[in-house]
Amino acid sequence: MNNKNKKAVSLIEILLILAILSIAIVPFVHIISLSIPVDSHTDDEYMATLLAQHVMETIIAKRIKNPTFLPSVSESKPIVFNNEKDKISEYFDYFEEFKGPITKKQDSQLYWAIDKFKCKVDTYLLDSNLFKVVVYIIYQKDGREMKVYLERLFPYNNYLGDNNMDDEGEN
Amino acid sequence: MTTNTGEIKNKFSYEKLFLLIIILVMLVLVVKCSITCYNNYASEPDLKNTIFAYNNIISKLRFDCRYANSAKVASNSLVLYDKNSKILCQYELKEGNLSRLDKNNNASTIFKNIESLSFYTGKDLPNLVTVRIYPADRKEIPFFTSFALRGLENGK
């Protein structure tokens, strides 16, 4: 009889431990999942990549039109019109459809989708025949500055129609 | 003996009740976890489908724009021409679906459920095509990017 009682109690004890563990493990799993960096492509990251492509393709189109065109180095600038037109990135300051930059009034959906992003362009001279253009699209996420960049090598005086020199990344 | 057996019976009924409660708690937790996992899994394909469709548009337009030399844009259509001014391909919005017609007029739908779409080029840069797409689902991000017409030879 004593043996029977002991067995029943031990089974319940195991189940009790399992139940407590299953409840206690939930916050631990949550903490661990928070500590793992997000690897998935978020909407912001994807939108930033589309915007970086717009800037790089604009530079390529300008180089096709004028092979001596060299993009100037620019600081981080907004890409939609808020108050001061001078502060908008030169790659977003005129669109034929809007007859100017993107504004809240003309296209509110697009405005709010890209309002948070800023654009910065860096140009590096690598040697006498080659220069590198890096396009950064910058945005804030959870208080951290996020950057998506697209880089490309260009030769002097003639454009490259091939995509093999493209590179992109994020940090 | 009878008292003893009665005690044992009472003990067992308590234990069974306790056991049932614990099993119930565990079952509830398992069901809750399953629902959470299912919701997470079920919510992913929608996003992936839109991103997949956007990637499809990018790869198609990038390829076509490599060989395109000029473009003719209308409110919701785009015609790309090669260096010999022959039609390379066409993009057209019909009944909310974006289709691509190749030079042999073979159509393929590359994006469904579009609310509005516009193609445009600039006066200063006619060799740059900008595309803006709003999916019918307002929760999805809009598509907004550009493609340079490179005008390379030896298209497909």
| Number of domains making up chain A | 1
Sequential DSSP letters for B76-95: SEEEEE-TTS-EEEEEEEET
pLDDT, greater one: A11 or A139: A139
Is B15 within 8 Å of chain A by CB?
yes
What is the pLDDT, as a whole number, of residue B17? 74
Question: Which one-letter DSSP state was computed for residue A112?
Answer: H
CB pairs under 8 A between A and B: 102
Whole-angstrom distance, CA of residue A126 vs CA of residue B77: 41
Query: What does the pLDDT read at residue B12?
Result: 59
Q: Is the pLDDT of residue A38 over 80?
A: no
Instruction: List, as one string, the DSSP characters of A37-58.
Output: PP-S--HHHHHHHHHHHHHHHH
Q: Would you say the C-alpha torsion A108, A114, A120, A126 has a positive or negative sign?
A: negative
Residue A171 pLDDT > 70: no
Chain A contact for B113, CB < 8 A?
A: no
Share of chain A above pLDDT 90, in %: 36
Q: Which chain A positions have a beta carbon within 8 Å of B152's beta carbon?
A: 161
**Domain of A110, in residue numbers:** 43-159
CA distance B91 to B100: 5
> Considering the domain boundaries, does residue A108 fall inside one?
yes
Q: Is residue A15 part of a domain?
A: no
Q: What is the pLDDT confidence band of residue A83, given thresholds at 50, 70 and 90?
A: confident
Q: What are the chain B neighbours of A43 within 8 Å (beta carbons)?
A: 47, 141
Lookup: tokens for B105 = 């007029």
Name the band, by pLDDT with cuts 50, 70 and 90, for residue A63.
very high
Cα angle value B56/A151/A61 (rounded, 5°): 70
Residue numbers in B near A16 (CB within 8 A): 22
| DSSP letter, residue A108 | H
Query: Could you give the CA distance from residue A152 to residue B40 in angstroms, rounded to a whole number?
Result: 37
In chain A, residues with a C-beta closer than 8 Å to the C-beta of B120 are: 95-97
How do residues B20-46 score in pLDDT, each as one tens digit?
Answer: 777 887 788 778 777 777 766 665 545
pLDDT level of residue B70 (50, 70, 90 thresholds): very high
Q: Is residue A37 part of a domain?
A: no
Q: What CA–CA distance (Å, rounded) separates B138 from A103?
A: 19
What digits encode the pLDDT tens for the residues B88-146? 999 999 889 999 999 888 999 999 889 999 998 988 899 999 999 999 988 889 999 99
Q: Nearest-CA neighbor of B125 among A169, A94, A11?
A: A94
* Chain A contact for B125 (CB, 8 A cutoff): yes
Domain assignment of residue A103, yes or no = yes
Determine, yes or no, domain membership for A165: no
B7 phi and psi angles, rounded to 5 deg: -60, -45
User: Does A22 reside within a domain?
Assistant: no
- The highest-confidence range among A96-105, B11-20, B68-77, by mean pLDDT, is B68-77
Identify the three-state secondary structure at position B29: helix
Decide if A35 is inside a domain: no
Q: What distance in Å separates residue B8's CA from the closest CA in chain A?
A: 8
In this prediction the pTM is 0.72
Task: Look at residue B11 and tell me whether its pLDDT is greater than 60.
Answer: no
Q: Under a CB-based contact definition with an 8 Å cutoff, are residues B117 and B93 in contact?
A: yes
Task: Report yes or no on A17 lying in a domain.
Answer: no
